[in-house]
């Protein structure tokens, strides 16, 4: 029987594919926010029922992920997109139809890799969700796809967030083995990186009247 963690991870994969298939910037950012909510619930679903992890540790991780991944970063990206006047991804490097096909292939590749690779046992003994490793691999690979297939800075930042979300999922194998301050430090690094990207998008939009990163190739000393 499928447990709550696997249901959450399946929904994460659905949001991954939705982001890859969508050309609307706001829809991509809102799907990222929804993914942040799912990831915030994941530590609780994985660890609390078994009672073998510090509850305060798990709650801090979940709340930190909720605030950073589902509220602060998506709201900042929506503001950047609104200020730049961007609504849709126009003529991406890889068409949406091809992106969906590549995304499906990457998900299948992730399922195969999860079965083929010999990973060390999860902290606390045993895997708590069958989709934990496949979902983390797929989210990372689809994040890379967004980074290289899209032209607009907003959707490239979404790809960066997906990549980080994949790392977050994989990191759930180590909850209890990694100090909570280290995990919160990673979230703060992510937040700082996105704010830097937001500043860059603001300046790109102000100078070029759009946020197509190809415009950076026109810069000269």
Give 164-219 pLDDT, tens digit per residue. Answer: 888 888 877 766 555 454 455 555 566 656 655 655 555 455 544 454 555 545 54
pLDDT at 149 over 90: no
pLDDT at 60 over 70: yes
What confidence tier does 51 reach under pLDDT thresholds 50, 70, 90?
low
- So what's the pLDDT on residue 47? 72
* CB environment 85-99: b (16+ within 10 A), e (fewer): ebeebeebeeeeeeb
Q: How far apart are CA 191 and CA 44, in angstroms?
A: 22
> Which value, to the nearest 10 degrees, does the dihedral of the CA atoms of residues 98, 100, 102, 108 take?
-160
What is the average pLDDT score of the chain? 75
Angle, CA of 66, 68 and 74, to the nearest 5°: 100
- So what's the pLDDT on residue 207? 45
Predicted model pTM: 0.76
Q: How far apart are CA 113 and CA 20, in angstroms?
A: 21
What confidence tier does 107 reach under pLDDT thresholds 50, 70, 90?
very high
- Give 132's contacts (C-beta < 8 A, 6+ positions apart): 5, 9, 46, 122, 169, 170, 172, 173
Q: Mean pLDDT across the stretch 17-41? A: 89
Question: How distant is the alpha carbon of residue 29 from its chain centre?
Answer: 10
What confidence tier does 22 reach under pLDDT thresholds 50, 70, 90?
confident
pLDDT at 152 over 80: no
Two tokens, residue 101: 């096909």
3 DSSP 8-state letter = -
Q: Mean pLDDT across the stretch 85-90? A: 64
Percent of the chain with pLDDT over 70: 65
Q: How far apart are CA 156 and CA 102, in angstroms?
A: 17
Nearest CA-CA partner of 139 in 116, 180, 172: 172
- So what's the pLDDT on residue 179? 47
Residue that the structure tokens 């830097």 belong to: 196
150 DSSP 8-state letter = -
Question: How distant is the alpha carbon of residue 48 from its chain centre?
Answer: 23
CB 151 within 8 A of CB 93: yes
Strongest mean pLDDT among 27-41, 52-66, 170-184: 27-41
Number of H helices, E strands in the chain: 8, 0
């Amino acid at each position: 029987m499928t447990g709550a963690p696997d249901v959450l991870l399946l929904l994460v994969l659905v949001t991954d594919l939705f982001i890859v298939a969508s050309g609307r910037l706001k829809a991509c950012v809102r799907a990222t926010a929804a993914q942040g909510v799912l990831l915030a619930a994941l530590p609780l679903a994985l660890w609390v029922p078994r009672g073998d992890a510090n509850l305060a540790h798990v709650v801090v991780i979940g709340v930190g992920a909720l605030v950073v991944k589902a509220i602060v970063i998506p709201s900042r990206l929506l503001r950047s997109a609104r200020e730049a006047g961007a609504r849709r991804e126009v003529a991406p490097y890889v068409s949406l139809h091809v992106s969906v096909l590549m995304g499906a292939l990457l998900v299948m590749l992730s399922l195969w890799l999860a079965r083929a690779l010999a990973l060390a046992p999860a902290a606390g003994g045993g895997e708590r969700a069958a989709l934990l490793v496949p979902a983390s691999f797929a989210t990372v690979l689809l994040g890379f796809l967004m980074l290289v297939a899209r032209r607009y800075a907003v959707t490239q930042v979404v790809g960066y967030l997906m990549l980080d979300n994949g790392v977050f999922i994989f990191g759930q194998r180590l909850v209890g083995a990694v100090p909570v301050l280290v995990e919160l430090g990673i979230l703060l690094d992510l937040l700082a990186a996105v704010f830097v990207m937001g500043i860059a998008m603001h300046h790109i939009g102000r100078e070029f009247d759009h946020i197509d990163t190809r415009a950076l190739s026109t810069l000269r000393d």
